[in-house]
Structure 1
Amino acid sequence: MPDRGFILTPTTRVVAGCPEIHLHAVMEDGAPALVIEDRFRPYFFVRARDEDAARRLADRRVSPQALETLDGEPVLRVDAALPRDVTALRDRLAEAGADALEADVRFPYRFLIDRGIRGAFAVSGPFELRPGVGRVYRNPTLVPASFVPRLRVLSLDIETSLDGECLYAISLAGAGGERCLLVRDEPVPGGLPSFVERFPDERTLLERFLELVAQADPDVLTGWNIPDFDLPALQRYCRRAGLPCALGRGDDEITILRDPGFSREARAVLPGRVVLDGLALLRGAFLRLDDYRLETAARTILGRGKLFGPDDRGEQIEASYRDDPARLAEYNLEDARLVRDLLEKTGLIELSVRRSLLTGMQLDRVGAQIAAIDSLYLPALRARGKVAPSVSREGPEGEAEIAGGLVLDSLPGLYRNIVVYDYKSLYPSLIRTFNIDPLTFVAGGAGPPEALIVTPGGAAFRRDEPGILPELVARLWDERAEARRQATSGARWPSRS
């Protein structure tokens, strides 16, 4: 029988000039696994009328397809040798006046989309066991499945000097138990609590920390603001100590990525594990707080808070490290516990799993709305024999101006006879009401009036073909309502579906 699993990190590697898709996963029995696929190749489409340019630039890697654009033009498939070649070919085709279609889908997601896999899968085939990685399947049979995983979660928190130059302590809570690792080169009068391990210097502490993470083998690493503070600091300390900051399943070091947009939100990438920041999860949930400090969140949701008060907390940490290291260890461990308990109480990791299963996005990218729409929309579009355009990469000078939603400035004053209309899920409602979809859009409103649905703004959409977006909205509407109920009630998702 096939074994079921859940994808944690879909990544790409190039080995001996060949692209490989690496799907790190957790299996139904909780064991880690790695699925390697090296037969799949990156590809995109061009219009058949651009065949000469495509063959000139892509050599022989062009083939006809029984597909067409949204406008009904036939298309050709263009295969690339490596994922990075897609971008180069797209640019060269643009210079030749030809558009590359669906050339903006990330390589591992292209593989998953084509197989209809959204988070959960069933795998058949032989595997080998690799230390630290688990089962390793190479080119197995992979199909969609229905499966909700039980993830092992480990919360971590670090304490440093006020200037961040010295590491004082690291605490862990969750998978593998609870403990605090403390840098202290001499014995502590009166001793330390049993959960504290003492080390003479940063290097030996970091070696023990990396060892404990590997032993606990969590699927999820969490904490409070860890992609912006804890993990970059650990990277610096490991480099200073001459140690690889390899916190994933394998030897690769952690990578910190920062959103190039307005939010500048950081993501930490680990092969085989997912970093889910407690702060980011709470901000993105339906829970509303006065602010999103750990102290506020813990007091509001758990009824308890940090062991050091907000006034002069930095000085309290310095004084405790110097004069009362047992108190610092208690403070440090409680911070790790608070994040663990917050996520358990709110069920936000389970909510991320549910969103991943709905959209196909990995756990730390479930908020990537455009990519999530691609994951849902493209398979439905392909089932109708169509391909989508690529998202435009033109700069501001090449972009057409698009008017956003109407926002009226308020006029201060006192008014009588005021009526307030609060439309639930306004945009999804409009999409369903007017059958709004790229597939049903009629440019210029050409056609018999009885065959069209015309918006108040004059945009026209066909009545005779159900749009993909309205169908997705209708399905996700109920799923969203249930997810919201689960998040706000603190209920748990079942372990299997």
Structure 2
Amino acid sequence: MQTQSTGFVLTRQSRDSRNGTEIILWLKTEQGPARLVVQGDKPVCFIREQDLAQAKQQLHKAGLNVSYKPLALKNFQHQAMVACYSSSIRDSLQLPQTLANAGIEAFESDIRLADRYLMERFIQGGIAFSGVPQQRAGYIEYSQVKAKAADYKPALTTVSLDIECSEKGVLYSVGLHSEADSRVIMVGQPHNEEDASCGWIEWVEDEKTLLLALERWFIQFDPDIIIGWNVIDFDFRLLLKRAEWNAISLRIGRGKQTPHWRKSTQNPNQGFITIPGRVVLDGIDTLKTATYHFRSWSLESVSRELLGEGKDIHNVHDRMAEINHMFRHDKMSLAKYNLQDCKLVTRIFDHTHLLDFAIERTCLTGVEIDRVGGSVAAFTNLYLPQLHRAGYVAPSLDSENWIASPGGYVMDSKPGLYQSVLVLDFKSLYPSIIRTFRIDPLGLVEGLLLEEGKGAEQAIAGFRGGRFHREKHFLPNMIENLWAARDQAKKEGEKAFSQAIKIIMNSFYGVLGSSGCRFFDHRLASSITMRGHEIMKTTRELIEAKGYEVIYGDTDSTFVSLKTSHSAEKADEIGQMLVAHINQWWAEHLQAEYSITSALELEYETHYHKFLMPTIRGQETGSKKRYAGLVKQGDEESIVYKGLETVRTDWTNLAQEFQQELYHRVFHDEGVEEYVRDYAEQTRSGTYDDKLVYRKRLRRNLSEYQKNVPPHVRAARMADEVNKKLGRPLQYQNGGWIEYVITINGPEPVEAQQSPIDYDHYVDKQLRPVADGILPFIGKYFDDITAPQLGLF
């Protein structure tokens, strides 16, 4: 008997079975986990009608079982299309190459069966379904399924997982932290009665028993989401290796199914994991997707920056030695350490609302919750089903014909130390250009059909030959809806929702300008960026016509010097006046010139009471994307740094602290000479030795650095030579982060420093560039200040 329900899609797979293709959807519903088995849908791609006879011949010869159906669809070249339905997923994977060998293009052949099923029904997370239910162990299975989109937000259960192991990868313990249960499964015997009576440690005999206990935990507590730190590429990779070594399937998926781990084809050090019915979210990847940035991505560093707490062990060798020592002599401490890592990850997710962000992104785009990046997939999900309903098949990826589009507008800056600088920003400039000028893949195809004179009034001119139809388009409306939803989310304080919308909306230009997107056309991307250039240049002219000076412009921001110092009230008044004037001008101009309504919105962003626009180091030309400014809000003030040493990870704490104090003094008209002189002298005397460490990433394997061997690579090689002598594992051969100092014998790793510090290096290469970036604007010079004082005899 058919029943109806709603839920949220957790995982999706498709497979070949004896009964044909099957799509398996695992859901979270009000009634608990559900497994939907969808039968009858077949993998489909499209070919040109003119290629049909040859395609049939080639596919038959290859032994592929394919059926064909003419459709009222055409490609972007307006050629009639035919659908090719494969009877199996295996055949569908062979079909594109078989056709390509015969010179026949298969359109949309890369869209996976489960993705297409959800996409064509506009299912974005929330799903309404009917089917015949059957109770299974721990879930309900539905057959004869029919599904459609639904507005459903789930309450998902989460567990934070972390493992501890030996340097050879033998498991010591697994930490699990959730609302339902927190425990550490520990190999070995308790050392004393107190350890034995500890209720949150589950003692097991050996590694195999630990893995079986982990299976039982997942069956009992049944979480929807597994979170962790580098949890896929480290924890799960190792768990599956050890399960294989112990001849265990590790059935931690729903329905006692096993995980599947696969390597990335692009990056051999990165992997992906599929656990039926459960989603794995890596903290690092999810934070990056949500556009967070940190100096270091270690759990220690991120938790200290976000939460103000971290771990006690820092050096990787000390950490390994200490873990080994705790496992042998103090298992209680190891268990606490293990569980603390789990709790830190949980707190980071809670603090940043990461799970909410991931759910909202799925609800907005239909991409999987655990999808890393995924801008192209999100755009495809949203756009493709609308395109089909408009009678078109999407183009294939065609990076061979890729033509670069101009980047964002960046104006040559006017270097100087300024009083009262305003920043005026266009709100979401590229999305507003798309909305205003109807920039859209379908709009381009339809716009190019309109001849000059005949129907020309229906086209809006773009750049590089682009023409866009005024009425036939999807993207402008998609952005308008997202824009309204974001305004509402901001009004209601829904930060995760607002952030998800912002990232998606701003990704649309990047997608259209990417050769990795099937809808790429240089006329699309150029019509956005070149229009942006035009808008920014005209805006500058409008500001300067009012008697103010534009000293810099960058993508969507314009920096306006008011020429003299202004009070906060007066500066705000001028800023609001300029914004109102420019928005009104654009509204009238675009209506008169193109008969379109402007969605451009200039906003008054900031008043810098003092502002530094430096020169390019060693030149008189103004720099780009580098500046600093003093902001005051009531009684509070702060200095904002962009692109300068203070916010760059490749500069030392020595330089950063020196810059912050020096800029504070200059911006407040305080004396600087004594401070600069003392700081240089104290650096030479060793007072600041704790601030001299460089930290840099090895982006390649150590052996790949041959011709140019930069300082951090030399330090890493030296560190691993020391590791080898001491019988420790080599740490830097496959990349990673290295901390080093510059000595009189060159760069040396912090953990194996042997030579005295080269203080002249730090004065010349860290302090002097910082000082030279600002002192000349007040008529002073680092070398003059730090020159040895001549005594009188």
TMscore range, shorter length = 0.7 to 0.9
Number of equivalent positions = 483
1:169 aligns with 2:173: yes
1:153 aligns with 2:140: no
Q: Is the 8 A contact 1:175 1:218 kept in 2?
A: no
Q: Distance in 1 between matches of 2:430 and 2:410?
A: 21
Q: Is the 8 A contact 2:233 2:269 kept in 1?
A: no
Deviation by residue 1:348-369 (Cα, 9 ceiling, x = unmatched): 1111111111111111126312
Match for 1:38: what amino acid?
Answer: Q
Q: Distance in 2 between matches of 1:262 and 1:229?
A: 15
2:238 to 205, 226, 233: 233
Q: Is the 8 A contact 1:453 1:462 kept in 2?
A: yes
Correspondence for 2:188: 184
| Partner SS state of residue 163, structure 2 | strand
Q: Distance in 2 between matches of 1:424 and 1:490?
A: 14
Match for 2:437: what amino acid?
Answer: F
Q: Distance in 1 between matches of 2:481 and 2:315?
A: 45
1:114 aligns with 2:120: yes
Q: Distance in 2 between matches of 1:482 and 1:58?
A: 52
| 1:154 Cα deviation from its structure 2 partner | 0.8
Deviation by residue 1:11-65 (Cα, 9 ceiling, x = unmatched): 0121126111001111123x11110011111112222222322333456711221
Give the RMSD, CA atoms, in angstroms.
Answer: 3.0
Correspondence for 1:319: 325
Deviation by residue 1:248-300 (Cα, 9 ceiling, x = unmatched): 11344322234433696432211111101112112222444333221232223
1:92 aligns with 2:84: no
Correspondence for 2:48: 47
Match for 1:43: what amino acid?
Answer: V
| Partner SS state of residue 306, structure 1 | coil
Unaligned residue ranges in structure 2 (runs of 5+): 61-65, 500-793
Q: Is the 8 A contact 2:251 2:258 kept in 1?
A: yes
Q: Distance in 2 between matches of 1:232 and 1:423?
A: 45
Q: Distance in 2 between matches of 1:405 and 1:445?
A: 26
The percentage of counterpart residues that share the same residue type is 32
Match for 2:359: what amino acid?
Answer: V
5 Å matches for 1:310-389? 312-365=318-371, 367-389=373-395
Residues 481 and 259 (structure 1), Cα distance of their counterparts in 2 relative to 1, 3 Å cut: farther
Residues 188 and 268 (structure 1), Cα distance of their counterparts in 2 relative to 1, 3 Å cut: farther
Deviation by residue 1:389-448 (Cα, 9 ceiling, x = unmatched): 2224x7xxxx12421443799989945889977554343233223322221225599534
Q: Distance in 2 between matches of 1:66 and 1:444?
A: 19
Q: Distance in 1 between matches of 2:498 and 2:250?
A: 35
Correspondence for 1:433: 436
5 Å matches for 1:87-486? 87-132=93-138, 134-161=139-166, 163-185=167-189, 187-188=191-192, 190-192=194-196, 193-261=198-266, 265-306=270-311, 308=313, 312-365=318-371, 367-392=373-398, 399-406=400-407, 414-415=415-416, 422-441=425-444, 442=447, 447-448=452-453, 450-455=457-462, 457-479=463-485, 486=494
Q: Distance in 2 between matches of 1:280 and 1:482?
A: 28
Q: Is the 8 A contact 2:384 2:394 kept in 1?
A: yes
| 1:103 Cα deviation from its structure 2 partner | 1.7
| Partner SS state of residue 356, structure 1 | helix
Correspondence for 1:495: none
Match for 2:175: what amino acid?
Answer: S
- Decide which moves more: 433-442 or 422-431: 422-431
Residues 190 and 26 (structure 1), Cα distance of their counterparts in 2 relative to 1, 3 Å cut: closer
Q: Distance in 1 between matches of 2:323 and 2:169?
A: 14
Q: Is the 8 A contact 1:118 1:357 kept in 2?
A: yes
Residues 453 and 407 (structure 1), Cα distance of their counterparts in 2 relative to 1, 3 Å cut: closer
Q: Distance in 1 between matches of 2:98 and 2:43?
A: 17
Q: Distance in 2 between matches of 1:288 and 1:351?
A: 16
Q: Distance in 2 between matches of 1:68 and 1:473?
A: 26
Residues 87 and 461 (structure 1), Cα distance of their counterparts in 2 relative to 1, 3 Å cut: farther
TM-score, normalised to structure 2, is: 0.56
Q: Is the 8 A contact 1:169 1:329 kept in 2?
A: yes
Match for 1:344: what amino acid?
Answer: D
Larger RCO, structures 1/2 (Cα 8 Å, 6+ apart): 1
Match for 1:11: what amino acid?
Answer: Q
Q: Is the 8 A contact 1:8 1:24 kept in 2?
A: yes
Structure with the bigger percentage of helix: 2
- Decide which moves more: 320-329 or 68-77: 68-77
Residues 303 and 415 (structure 1), Cα distance of their counterparts in 2 relative to 1, 3 Å cut: closer
Q: Is the 8 A contact 1:356 1:366 kept in 2?
A: no
| Partner SS state of residue 191, structure 1 | helix
Q: Distance in 2 between matches of 1:318 and 1:445?
A: 73
Correspondence for 1:494: none
| Partner SS state of residue 70, structure 1 | coil
Deviation by residue 1:310-338 (Cα, 9 ceiling, x = unmatched): 57322222222222211111111111111
Residues 371 and 18 (structure 1), Cα distance of their counterparts in 2 relative to 1, 3 Å cut: same
1:5 aligns with 2:13: no
Deviation by residue 1:455-497 (Cα, 9 ceiling, x = unmatched): 3x42322333242222222223344566786346999xxxxxx
Q: Distance in 2 between matches of 1:147 and 1:318?
A: 47
Q: Distance in 1 between matches of 2:80 and 2:106?
A: 13
| 1:8 Cα deviation from its structure 2 partner | 0.7
Correspondence for 2:29: 27
| 1:188 Cα deviation from its structure 2 partner | 3.5
- Decide which moves more: 407-416 or 64-73: 407-416
Structure index of larger Rg: 2
Q: Distance in 1 between matches of 2:370 and 2:190?
A: 41
Q: Is the 8 A contact 2:16 2:89 kept in 1?
A: no
Residues 53 and 426 (structure 1), Cα distance of their counterparts in 2 relative to 1, 3 Å cut: farther
| Partner SS state of residue 254, structure 2 | coil
Match for 2:146: what amino acid?
Answer: T
Deviation by residue 1:70-129 (Cα, 9 ceiling, x = unmatched): 333322211111123234222233333332222221111111122222211112222111
Q: Is the 8 A contact 1:5 1:122 kept in 2?
A: yes
- Decide which moves more: 147-156 or 97-106: 97-106
- Decide which moves more: 383-392 or 426-435: 426-435
- Decide which moves more: 138-147 or 309-318: 309-318
| Partner SS state of residue 229, structure 1 | helix
Q: Is the 8 A contact 1:366 1:372 kept in 2?
A: no
Q: Distance in 1 between matches of 2:482 and 2:270?
A: 26
Q: Distance in 1 between matches of 2:434 and 2:91?
A: 36
1:38 aligns with 2:39: yes
